[in-house]
Each structure stands twice: as structure tokens, then as C-alpha cells.
Amino acid sequence: MSTSVAAAEGRATAQENVFSGASFETTVPLRWGDMDARQHLNNTLYFRLMEEGRIQAFRRLGVNDLSPEGIILASISCDFLRSLTYPSTARVQHKVARIGRSSLDLEVLIERTEEPGVLYARGREVLVWVNYESGKSAPWPAQVLQRLQGK
């Protein structure tokens, strides 16, 4: 796609896809039913916390779930550092680590609001902007890219 076509379509060009330190934060109260037999947050729920933070972040960015284009989760990982327990409120922070033409790397930090700065889990997510009809990746729309870059 030429730069002029990209600009006319409101899309980012390769030169605009740079590192950004933008971050998004969400708090999520833990529920009694989230615990496993050992009274710890079940490991699958860390991924749910990451999902909730990611969805909230993109809603704040104005990404509409019903658009013909949007994000898909390409990869996710989590390092479990400490056990979260009930009662508590998780603070989930997504930090933009890298923005590519159509992909985005996010660092995810999970801590308890009751213990600021103490990490309970660290994760990584790779998201891709896609055209849902074609199933192919597409460049980030300029307005989303600007918001991801904190502009």
C-alpha cells in the first residue's frame, strides 16, 4: 500500500509504527469462586484478568467490537510470581512494548491494589489488527495507533 493510499484511508505508514510507552490500567475484584482447592486464584483466572484489562483498554481506545476490522489475540503467556488470594482486588496494567505494522506487543503486570508495586504475575500478549472478512492482518488505523502511542 502506498503512503498516499494509506494516508487517504486513515491508516498508519511503516514510519509511524514505533515503540510506545502508553499504558492502561484496570482493577478487578476477585471473587470467592475464583479460588482453587488450595485457596489461591486458579491459574486460568490470571488469563481472565489479563483479558478483562485488555478489553477495557481497547474499549477506552474506541475500538468497536462490531467493526469489520479489529484485534485478535495471537499469543499470550504468564509468569506466576506470587499467589493471589481472596479477598483482594487485582490491578492489571497493560504497557505497550512494541507496535508493528499490524501487530502489538503488550507487557502485562498484575498486582494487588492493597500492595502497590508488589508483582503477582507478569505476562505478555501479542495482538494483531485484522480484517475479519478476509481473515488477513491489516495496518493499524491511524486513530487507534495515535491512541496507542499516547497522543
Q: 110-132, pLDDT tens digit by residue?
A: 999 999 999 999 999 999 999 99
DSSP 82: S
**Residue 53 pLDDT greater than 90, yes or no:** yes
Averaged pLDDT for residues 36-55: 93
| 60 confidence band (pLDDT: 50, 70, 90) | confident
Find out whether 54 and 106 touch, Cβ atoms under 8 Å.
Answer: yes
Given this model, what pLDDT does residue 66 score? 72
Other Cβ atoms less than 10 A from the Cβ of 81: the count is 14
Find out whether 26 and 92 touch, Cβ atoms under 8 Å.
Answer: yes
What is the C-alpha separation between 105 and 35, in angstroms, rounded?
Answer: 29
Find out whether 108 and 93 touch, Cβ atoms under 8 Å.
Answer: yes
Say whether pTM exceeds 0.95: no
Average per-residue pLDDT for the chain: 85
What is the C-alpha separation between 101 and 11, in angstroms, rounded?
Answer: 10
Given this model, what pLDDT does residue 25 score? 94
Given this model, what pLDDT does residue 151 score? 63
Strand bridging mode 103-112 / 119-131: antiparallel
Averaged pLDDT for residues 53-64: 88
